[in-house]
Structure 1
Amino acid sequence: MKPTTVHADTQDQSQPVFALAHLLGFDLMPRIRNWKGLTFYRPSKTTEYVHIDALFGEAGKSVIDWHLIESQFRHLMKMAVSVREGAISSSTLLKRLRSGSKKNATYAAFREVGRVIRTVQLLRYLCDPALRRRVTAATNKTEAFNGFSQWIGFGNRGVIADNDPVEQEKAMKFNALLTNAVIFHNALDIAEIVRQLLEEGWTIEPEDLAHISPYLTEHINRFGEYSTHELGIQPEAYDPKLDVDFTQLRDQDLTAAGLRQAA
């Protein structure tokens, strides 16, 4: 996948992560708590702002070190290319950079780039109400998925007791697989109900479907129902099509995006 924007919660953002996201070509748009603890960085010691200078703290402090970024630029790009080409994972790279970070010039440069990007993103977040709504909505969807996944992985109260990293990864991936299977099952049920309503003469608008979540639990028996005679039954091919015009929602999104770009 080649996302243009990645949403996350507070714990999934840091200055090096902002830098890596920027170097990989996408926007990191997290929902951040505790804004009072964040620092806005000035581009130079002499830079002052008429209306928002108080955000940047005391004049002459919290200034970006552009010389450090320039001196480490080749290393920054080399690491970004390594991640993009799959030579190293992003998590492994960040762990390596953190080790001995006080003496690691490349880590310091990553952090410096992250300070630039996060300051810009925070300013965008402050001045754009539509962006704030979008970040909140996207993060709520992520949290809803995580909650649904935890509901599915109820065994042992959701605790992974095995100390083996391989077994831990298996448990997480199997839980994700089962979660997506149940979501797919819910989506098929929702589509079938929508078809029945359309046949009965109901008008279904795309905005109505946009408010329906596939994270439904009331009808799911987590302990399962096992019937061996059904093992050989071949399921019918599912029909992914609905007689609903979704171009309205797409056109609205494109119009909103165009207005943001024009602004």
Structure 2
Amino acid sequence: MRFHRILRYLSDAPLRRRVTAATNKVEAFNGFSKWIGFGNGGVITDNDPVEQEKTVKFNALLTNAVIFHNALDIAEAVRQLQEEGHVIDPEDLAHISPYLTEHIGRFGEYSTHELGLEPEAYDPHLDVDFSPLREQGLTTAGLGRAA
């Protein structure tokens, strides 16, 4: 059965593109998560399994919080461009990654005075028509370029 799957993979270019795109997304996430968890060179030095689990879960929480923040920033940039009259191509948006790091000061000083402030309600809607991508089968998994 395993040999059959390998032959299917080798003979099916769209399947290879989907697998490559999915693999690239996972690797990008893992690289981003590793970049976020830079302390001790990314090595968990505690021998206590409970502390190890805390470290892994904290890194996952922090990684997802930064991804969410980046997604909010991207959505705000899209809205601003639309307000300025620009037409947003959904295929361009499909290629934008939330794994942005240039704006993060990992070694800076941080303030916690804003922790008690309640954020404004988040509007997840973007006025972009993604239906052409769906109709072409160009979902996020299908946008990989490698064959």
TM-score normalised over the length of structure 2 = 0.88
Gaps of 5+ in 2: 139-147
Which AA in structure 1 matches 2:135? D
Tell me what 2:45 maps to.
161
Aligned pair partner of 2:110 in 195, 212, 226? 226
Tell me what 2:12 maps to.
128
Deviation string 1:43-76 (CA, Å, 9 cap, x unpaired) is: xxxxxxxxxxxxxxxxxxxxxxxxxxxxxxxxxx
Aligned pair partner of 1:186 in 58, 70, 81? 70
1:86-105 matches, within 5 Å, as none
Cα shift at 1:145 = 0.3
Aligned pair partner of 2:21 in 130, 133, 137? 137
Tell me what 1:206 maps to.
90
Deviation string 1:68-91 (CA, Å, 9 cap, x unpaired) is: xxxxxxxxxxxxxxxxxxxxxxxx
Gaps of 5+ in 1: 1-115, 255-263
SS in 1 for 2:137: helix
The separation in 1 between residues aligned to 2:70 and 2:118, in whole angstroms, is 19
The separation in 1 between residues aligned to 2:116 and 2:12, in whole angstroms, is 55
Deviation string 1:118-146 (CA, Å, 9 cap, x unpaired) is: 22210111110111111111101100000
The separation in 1 between residues aligned to 2:101 and 2:126, in whole angstroms, is 23
The separation in 2 between residues aligned to 1:148 and 1:187, in whole angstroms, is 14
The separation in 1 between residues aligned to 2:115 and 2:57, in whole angstroms, is 24
Percentage of pairs with the same residue: 80
The separation in 2 between residues aligned to 1:228 and 1:170, in whole angstroms, is 21
The separation in 1 between residues aligned to 2:136 and 2:20, in whole angstroms, is 19
The separation in 1 between residues aligned to 2:22 and 2:74, in whole angstroms, is 22
Cα shift at 1:225 = 4.4
Deviation string 1:162-184 (CA, Å, 9 cap, x unpaired) is: 11222212111111111000000
The separation in 2 between residues aligned to 1:228 and 1:165, in whole angstroms, is 29
1:236 paired with 2:138, answer: no
1:216 paired with 2:103, answer: no
Cα RMSD after superposing both structures:
1.4
CA separation of 1:184 and 1:228: change in aligned 2, threshold 3 A: closer
Q: Which has the higher contact order (CA 8 A, sep 6+)?
A: 2
The separation in 2 between residues aligned to 1:140 and 1:156, in whole angstroms, is 26
SS in 1 for 2:82: helix
Higher-Rg member (1/2): 1
Cα shift at 1:223 = 3.6
CA separation of 1:174 and 1:228: change in aligned 2, threshold 3 A: closer
SS in 1 for 2:133: helix
The separation in 2 between residues aligned to 1:133 and 1:231, in whole angstroms, is 43
CA separation of 1:135 and 1:228: change in aligned 2, threshold 3 A: closer
